[in-house]
């Protein structure tokens, strides 16, 4: 899709994935509007060429913003991202659901939306034994975060089926790269770079599928080319490669010339044990593939760390 002069509204545009996507959209000539409450997003991530509204998407004011800005494309990144905290307090995810419905309701009233791209999660498949996991795998609601993500996916399906609002769902694996402030990898880097050791819940043999931010942004833009009549516009974005937490920790420690002696703690409820996504559908239909390997991506991340 030619993005020159297209107006794009990005929820969570001051966050990790959102801000990188904003930069890419502006580079492609799009006019960008950011909505972010800065609960996890950061002001320093904001692109100066974008218009910025500091509000929670659950606030009714989001409807006025949509009416005023009249975006043609919406990227929906805004979401509370801590799985352990969502297990402790499922109410944390309610704003994400309410805000998503407000956006869809207003979009339906306004018309004119060419596409909504929703950042979902490969965690939806839960602790399946089918690895790498395809998009056809059943959803396993093993934690409130996943229940909330899947709820928004289903609202998108409802609004497409009932009102013709086109969408694409991207189910990311574990995204990493510059500007990342939350999650296990960021904690490992933060602790090790300051001469401390980080905590690992469990024995460190849990696996994740690490995909670099630049590759994710590429998928975000390619998603715009998916036809609006696509029967099932859901795509995994990952690498198909499992990496244990122990392996990741040692790679980071070695790159920082630190000892690898993580502090092991008892595992927590609502945890994913093994995780790896099949990305053959994205390769075939999006024309997307991973470019940045883990070792290269970690070097870029550590170089950007401050």
- State the pLDDT confidence band at 6, using cuts at 50, 70 and 90: very high
Give the separation between CA 225 and CA 70, rounded to whole angstroms. Answer: 21
Q: Is the pLDDT of residue 236 over 80?
A: yes
Q: What is the mean pLDDT of residues 159-163?
A: 97
The reply to whether omega before 132 is within 30° of 0 (cis) is yes
pLDDT of residue 271: 83
Q: What is the mean pLDDT of the chain?
A: 95
pLDDT of residue 269: 78
Q: What is the mean pLDDT of residues 49-70?
A: 97
Q: Please, what is the Cα angle at 20 between 38 and 180, to 5 degrees? A: 60
β pairing state of 207-208 and 243-244:
antiparallel
Ramachandran angles phi, psi of 51, nearest 5°: -85, 140
Range(s) of the chain covered by CATH 3.90.25.10: 184-207+241-275+297-304
pLDDT of residue 81: 67
Give the separation between CA 138 and CA 148, rounded to whole angstroms. Answer: 16
DSSP notation for 173-234:
-EEE-TT--SSHHHHHHHHHHTT---EEESSS--EE-EEEHHHHHHHHHHGGGS-TT-S--E
pLDDT of residue 270: 73
Q: What is the mean pLDDT of residues 179-188?
A: 93
pLDDT of residue 72: 97
Q: What is the mean pLDDT of residues 49-78?
A: 97
Which of 125, 145, 155, 188 is labelled catalytic?
145
Q: What is the mean pLDDT of residues 20-34?
A: 98
Range(s) of the chain covered by CATH 3.40.50.720: 7-176+213-238+278-291
Q: Is the pLDDT of residue 107 over 80?
A: yes
Q: Is the pLDDT of residue 303 over 80?
A: yes
pLDDT of residue 143: 84
Say which residue, 79 or 222, is predicted with more confidence. Answer: 222
* Confidence (pTM): 0.95
> Taking the mean position of all CA atoms in its chain, how far away is CA 144?
16
pLDDT of residue 288: 98
Q: Is the pLDDT of residue 254 over 90?
A: yes
Give the separation between CA 110 and CA 120, rounded to whole angstroms. Answer: 25
pLDDT of residue 145: 87
Q: Is the pLDDT of residue 116 over 70?
A: yes
The top-level CATH class assigned to 7-176+213-238+278-291 is alpha beta
Q: What is the mean pLDDT of residues 104-111?
A: 96
* Superfamily the domain 184-207+241-275+297-304 falls into: UDP-galactose 4-epimerase, domain 1 (3.90.25.10)
145 is catalytic: yes
pLDDT of residue 82: 67
With pLDDT > 90 as the criterion, what percentage of the chain qualifies?
87
- State the pLDDT confidence band at 40, using cuts at 50, 70 and 90: confident
50-64, 192-206, 214-228, 267-281: range with lowest mean pLDDT: 267-281
> pLDDT tens across 118-160, in order?
999 999 999 999 999 999 999 998 888 889 999 999 999 999 9
pLDDT of residue 306: 65
Q: Is the pLDDT of residue 79 over 90?
A: no
């Amino acid at each position: 899709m030619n993005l020159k002069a297209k107006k794009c509204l990005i929820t969570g545009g001051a966050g990790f994935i959102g801000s990188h996507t904003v930069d890419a959209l502006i580079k492609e000539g799009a006019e960008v509007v950011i909505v972010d409450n800065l609960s996890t997003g950061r002001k320093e991530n904001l692109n100066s060429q974008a218009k910025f509204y500091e509000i929670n998407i659950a606030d009714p004011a989001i409807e006025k913003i949509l009416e005023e800005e009249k975006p043609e494309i919406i990227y929906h990144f805004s979401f509370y991202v801590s799985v352990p905290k969502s297990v402790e307090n499922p109410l944390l995810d309610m704003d994400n659901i309410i805000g998503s419905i407000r956006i869809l309701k207003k979009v339906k009233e306004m018309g004119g939306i060419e596409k909504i791209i929703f950042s979902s999660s490969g965690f939806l498949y839960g602790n399946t034994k089918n690895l790498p996991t395809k998009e056809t795998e059943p959803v396993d609601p093993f934690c409130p975060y996943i229940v909330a993500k899947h709820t928004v996916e289903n609202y998108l399906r409802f609004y497409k089926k009932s009102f013709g609002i086109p969408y694409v769902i991207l189910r990311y694996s574990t995204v990493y790269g510059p500007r990342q402030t939350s999650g296990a990898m960021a904690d490992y880097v933060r602790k090790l770079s300051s001469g401390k050791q980080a905590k690992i819940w469990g024995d460190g043999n849990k696996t994740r599928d690490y995909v670099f931010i630049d590759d994710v942004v590429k998928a975000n833009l390619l998603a715009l080319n998916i036809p609006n009549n696509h029967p099932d516009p859901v795509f995994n974005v990952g690498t198909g490669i499992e990496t244990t937490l122990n392996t990741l920790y040692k790679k980071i420690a070695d790159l920082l010339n630190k000892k690898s002696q993580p502090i092991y703690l008892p595992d927590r409820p609502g945890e994913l044990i093994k995780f790896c996504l099949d990305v053959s559908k994205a390769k075939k239909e999006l024309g997307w593939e991973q470019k940045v390997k883990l070792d290269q991506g970690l070097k870029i991340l550590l170089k950007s760390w401050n």
